[in-house]
């Protein structure tokens, strides 16, 4: 749910990158931070618990400029993928406006992808939302892996509703800005319906 700042009148929209542990959520934000105009992006905050393990969430504010006559800012978050961090994920999902589900293309990670997607849907329902009501982009990350799960299998297992998808290699930036652009477009479009 987009929130209007009580003093400035700026509109704040929350986009959450969700997926299993080590699927590339933080890598997406790091790449986007490095490519976005420094005047349009804030500081990337990434509290970690050891190498590449998100402790609570990552956060990147992005100024989208004037949209429909209002200064609009996107607040990009990731969630920790580790199972014990479920309550953290629940908190980060509060008032979400859009989702990027980052799936791991490694063939041994399909069960983790399915579990993460089921967890996401459960947490949304607990918060009074349904995934079908939200803007969602699915990103199939790590497509450069030898023996990566075939795209058709990823689609049948993770995308029965036919959401917009992108193949990605987040560490190289492939598909990162495309995913961000599409979820931004969907969120802005959803504001028109609100």
pLDDT digits (tens, 9 = 90+) for 118-141: 999 999 999 999 999 999 999 999
The Cα–Cα gap between 12 and 189 comes to 14
Q: What is the 3-state secondary structure (H, E, C) of the chain?
A: CCEECCCCCCEEEEEEEECCCCCCHHHHHHHHHHHCCCCCECCCECCECCCCCECCCEEEEEEEEEECCEEEEEEEEECCCCHHHHHHHHHHHCCCCEEEEEEECCHHHHHHHHHHHHHHHHHHHHCCCCHHHCCEEEEEECCCCCCCCCHHHHHHHHCCCCCEEEECECCCCECHHHHHHHHHHHHHHHHHHC
Q: Which domains does the chain carry?
A: 3-193 (3.40.50.300)
Average pLDDT over residues 155-164: 97
**pLDDT of 101:** 98
Stated pTM of the model: 0.92
The whole-number average pLDDT for the span 45-57 is: 59
Over residues 5-19, the mean pLDDT reads 85
pLDDT number for residue 49: 55
What pLDDT is recorded for position 180? Answer: 97
Tens of pLDDT, residues 64-100? 888 878 889 999 999 987 777 889 899 999 999 999 9
């Amino acid at each position: 749910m987009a929130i209007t700042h009580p003093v400035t009148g700026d509109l704040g929209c929350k986009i959450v990158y969700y997926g299993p542990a080590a699927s590339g959520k933080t890598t997406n934000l790091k790449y986007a931070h490095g490519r976005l105009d420094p005047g349009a992006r804030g500081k990337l905050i990434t509290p970690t618990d050891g190498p590449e393990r998100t402790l609570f969430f990552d956060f990147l504010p992005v100024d989208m400029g004037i949209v429909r006559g209002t200064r609009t800012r996107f607040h990009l978050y990731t969630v920790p993928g580790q199972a014990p961090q479920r309550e953290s994920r629940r908190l980060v999902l509060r008032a979400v406006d859009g989702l990027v589900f980052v799936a791991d293309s490694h063939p041994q990670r399909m069960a983790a992808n399915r579990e993460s997607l089921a967890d996401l849907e459960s947490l949304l329902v607990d918060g009074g939302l349904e995934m079908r009501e939200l803007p969602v982009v699915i990103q199939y990350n790590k497509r450069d892996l030898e023996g990566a799960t075939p795209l058709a299998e990823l689609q049948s297992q993770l995308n029965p509703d036919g959401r917009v998808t992108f193949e990605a290699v987040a560490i190289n930036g492939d598909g990162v800005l495309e995913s961000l652009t599409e979820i931004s477009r969907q969120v802005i479009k959803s504001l028109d319906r609100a």
